[in-house]
Amino acid sequence: MVDSTTKKEDGMSKGLLIVFTGNGKGKTTAALGMAMRAAGHGLRVCFIQFIKGSWRYGELEAVKRFAGLIDLHVMGKGFTWKSENIEDDARLAREAWDFARQAINSNSYQIVVLDEFTYLLHYGMLALDPCLQFLTERNPAQHVVITGRYAPPSLLEAADLVTEMQAVKHPLASGIKAQKGIEF
């Protein structure tokens, strides 16, 4: 860890595109920890959830303690990937992405988190190329964090920092149920 402001060769600060992917635990949780740490520095974070219901009481109560620093937005209104209407899902995905682009373009946040955003790309709810173009042409000082399984290779290519969370062992596989405060 180097305690200095990041500068590119041209002296501009560099916003990172960070991806947490893979089939293991901790992707959203790491983004949440990162958001709270940034808020601890007084930075403003926009945390956009693309999957409804992935957060529970614990996360919501935790984020409330950072009112004015972390803005949480849940997209989709029922956008659970179980819709029987693909057209409807695609429309909701576009609306959610429009919202995310506005947040990224607003210059109101040092960090914008697109939580579980990869599913929209993986399942073809959004066209990949325009998304990548928008991300790579964003304000170069803007940090963006994307989480979710199945991150497309071209997204990883565009990213500055990629961590793959690999499930080495998972208790649900051995019949232990998910627990309050631990897994949600």
Residues with catalytic annotation? 23, 25, 27-29, 37, 79, 81, 116
Of positions 90, 128, 132, 156, contacts a second copy by CB under 8 A? 156
E strands along 26-74, which residues?
Answer: 45-49, 70-74
Query: Smallest distance from the beta carbon of 130 to a second copy, in angstroms?
Result: 23
Strand, coil or helix: 171: helix
Give 46's strand partners.
71, 112
* Residues paired with residue 112 on neighbouring β-strands, in sequence order: 46, 144
Q: Residues with Cβ < 8 Å from 96, sequence gap 6 or more? A: 48, 50, 75, 76, 79, 120
When asked if residue 136 is in the footprint of a second copy (CB under 8 A), the reply is: no
Applying the rule CB under 8 A, the residues between 52 and 81 that interact with a second copy are 54, 56-66
Minimum CB separation of residue 122 from a second copy in Å reads 17
Could you say which residues in the range 4-23 bind a second copy, by CB under 8 A?
A: 4-8, 13-14, 16, 18, 20, 22
